[in-house]
Structure 1
Amino acid sequence: MKVQEKMKTYGSNTLTDSELISLIIGKRVKDRTAVEVADKVMESLPRQNLYYLGETCVQDLEAIYGVGEKSALALCAAIELGKRIRKSGVKLNAPDFSSPQNVASYLMEDMRFLSQEEFRAVYLTTKNQLIAVQTISRGSINASIAKGRDVLKYALRYNAAAIILAHNHPSGNPEPSHEDIAVTQRIADEGQIMEIPVLDHIIIGDGTYVSLCERGYI
C-alpha cells in the first residue's frame, strides 16, 4: 500500500517517521523512492532520533542524497510550523506567566534548538499575562550588558507593567554564569528606577531551565 493511501485509510498517526517525512519530500529521486530518501534523513540524525530533526537546517538536509532544496525547505517549514502550533497551544492554555514553569514552557520548544545565544524580553500586564516577546540581541550574553535600555524601550512601547528576561544556552546546560547574573541584576536595577520590575530571568537549556528568581538572584 502506498503511503498516501495508508494515511487516507488509517490516519497519519499510523505512519512511521520515515513515511511522514516521505510525504513532505514527495517524488522519488533517480534510484530511490521518497521513503528510502526519508530513511537516509533519519539515519543522518543522532541515534536516528526524530527529536534531532528539529535542530537541522536547510544546508544539513540538502547534503543528504535525494533531498533537494525544495524538499529541504519544505521539511524545515514543517518543523517550524509544528513549533508554532505547539507554542500557540501553550499560550492559550497558560496565559498566566506568574510562574517560571509557564514562561519556560512557552519559550522552550523555540529557544532550546537555537545554535547561538539569543536574549529576549517577555512583557507582561499587571496580571502577569503575556503582551509580547521581543528579541533584544543575538550572540554572547556579554554583548547584552549594554542592552538594558533596549529592554526598557520596548517595555514603554508595549506599556508593560513587568518584564521577564530570557536567554538560551546552546550547550543545553541552563546553569547561570557570573555574566548571566550580572546582566540580570543590572537590568533589574534599571527597571526599578523606571518602576517597571524585572520579575525573573529564565535560562533555557535542552528540555530544562533555571529561574534566577528561584535561585535568589532577583
Structure 2
Amino acid sequence: MKHGFPRPRGVADGVPAEAIGLRPIPQWPEGERPRERLLRHGVGALSDAELIAVLLGNGSVGRDAVATARALLGEAGSLGRLLADPDHMPAVRGVGPAKRARIVAALELARRSLGEGLAELPRVRSPTDSADYLKARLRHLPYEAFACLFLDTRHRILAYEELFRGTIDAANVYPREVVRACLRHHACAVILAHNHPSGIAEPSRADREITRVLVDALGLIDVRVLDHLIIGHDDPVSMAARGLL
C-alpha cells in the first residue's frame, strides 16, 4: 500500500510539481485529479492521501484536498491510527464536522461489509473465519478493548459486541458482564477477542488468567469458549491454538 505521509514536492500522488499547492484540484489536468483517476483506473491507482481527498471533496483556502489529507495522515501518524478512533481525529484546518462524518461513514461501511461476509458464513468453523473482521474492529485502536462474537448452537454469528475499554495497556474485564451479554444474546458459544495497542500479540499472564476465569464462568451457563484471539499488528494469536484454553 502506498503511504500517505507528506513527500517532497513533485513525487507525491502522481501529481506534477507545478500543480501541488498552487492550484485547486478542479484546475488540475483531468488525468491528475484523484476522483477522475479513481473512476478511470480504479482505487488501486490512488494513494492513501488521494483516497481520503476523494472523501473530503475539497480542501480549504490555500490547501487542496490532497494536501489536507496528507496533513491528517501526518498528524495521526498512520492511516490505521487515523481510522481507528475517528471520534478523536486530529484537528486539521479545513476538516470540520461534515468531512469528519464522511470519513467515519466510509469506515463504518467497510466494517459492515466485513460483517456481512461473516454473517453469510454457514457457520464459524474456526476462529480464523472471523479473524479479518476482528482485526478490522480492534487492530488499530489506541486503547485496549475487549469484545465478543456470540454464536448459536451451530456456531452461526448472533452478534458482535465490544464490552470493555481501557487504557493503552489494560482493560478491566468483568466475568459477570460477559455472562450477562451471553444470556442477552442467547449465545451457546463465544469467541473472545482483545487488542494489544503495542502491536505485540503475545498472551500475557493476565490474558491467560482472565481466559481461564471466563471459561469457568461461562461453563456454568453452558456457553463454550471457542477461542480467545489477541489482535496485534500481525495475524491474531489464537489462545486455543496455543493450548491455553
TM-score (norm 1): 0.81
Q: For 2:138, which of 75, 95, 111 is the aligned residue? A: 111
Which of 94, 119, 129 is the equivalent residue of 2:156?
A: 129
Alignment of 1:82-93 (within 5 A): 82-92=110-120
- What is the identity percentage for the equivalent residue pairs of Structure 1 and Structure 2? 33
For residues 124-177 of structure 1, give each alpha carbon's deviation from its aligned partner in whole angstroms, at most 9, with x where no partner exists: 112211111222222265621xx2222222222322221222111111111111
Hey, what's the Cα distance between the residues in 1 that align with 2:122 and 2:132?
A: 11
- 1:22 alignment counterpart: 53
Structure 1 unmatched ranges of 5 or more = none
Unaligned runs of 5+ in 2: 1-28
Shift of the alpha carbon at 1:184?
Answer: 0.8
User: Hey, what's the Cα distance between the residues in 1 that align with 2:43 and 2:50?
Assistant: 9
Contact 1:126 1:162 in 2 (8 A): yes
Distance in 2 between residues matched to 1:60 and 1:157, nearest whole Å: 33
CA distance in 1, matches of 2:128, 2:47: 32
| Among 177, 194, 198, the residue aligned to 1:171 | 198
Match of residue 78, structure 1, among 106, 113, 137: 106
The one-letter code of the counterpart of 2:83 is: G
| Greater helix fraction, Structure 1 or Structure 2 | 1
Stretches of 4+ moved more than 6 A in 1?
none
Q: Secondary structure at the match of 1:137?
A: strand
TM-score (norm 2): 0.73
Q: Give the 3-state SS of the residue equivalent to 1:194 in structure 2.
A: coil
Distance 1:85 1:217, change over 3 A: same
Output the CA distance in 1 between the equivalents of 2:184 and 2:79: 40
Q: Is the 8 A contact 2:146 2:171 kept in 1?
A: no
CA distance 1:207–1:158, change in 2 (3 Å): same
Task: Report the more deviating stretch, 182-191 or 113-122.
Answer: 113-122
* Deviation at residue 11 of structure 1 after TM alignment: 5.1
2:172 to 125, 136, 143: 143
Q: Is the 8 A contact 1:90 1:105 kept in 2?
A: no
Measured in 1, the distance between the counterparts of 2:224 and 2:43 equals 47
Counterpart of 1:176, as a letter, is P
The alpha carbon displacement at 1:216 in A equals 1.2
**Deviation per CA, 1:111-134, whole angstroms, max 9, x where unpaired?**
112221211222211221111122
Q: Structure 1 residues 20 and 165, CA, compared in 2 at 3 Å: closer, same or farther? A: closer
How far does residue 83 in structure 1 lie from its aligned partner after superposition?
2.8
- Residues 22-52 of structure 1 show CA distances to partners (whole Å, capped at 9, x for unaligned) of 2322234112222332343344464xx6455
What SS is found at the alignment partner of 2:197? coil
CA distance in 1, matches of 2:95, 2:151: 43
Q: 1:95 to 1:70 in 2, by over 3 A?
A: same
- Residue number in structure 2 paired with 1:57: 86
Q: Do the aligned partners of 1:61 and 1:72 also contact (CA within 8 Å) in 2? A: no
> What amino acid sits opposite 1:70 in the alignment?
A
State how far apart, in whole Å, the 2-side matches of 1:56 and 1:160 are: 29
Residue 195 (structure 1) shift: 2.2
In the alignment, the residues of structure 1 paired with residue 208 and residue 217 of structure 2 have an alpha-carbon distance, to the nearest angstrom, of 14
SS at match of 2:219: helix
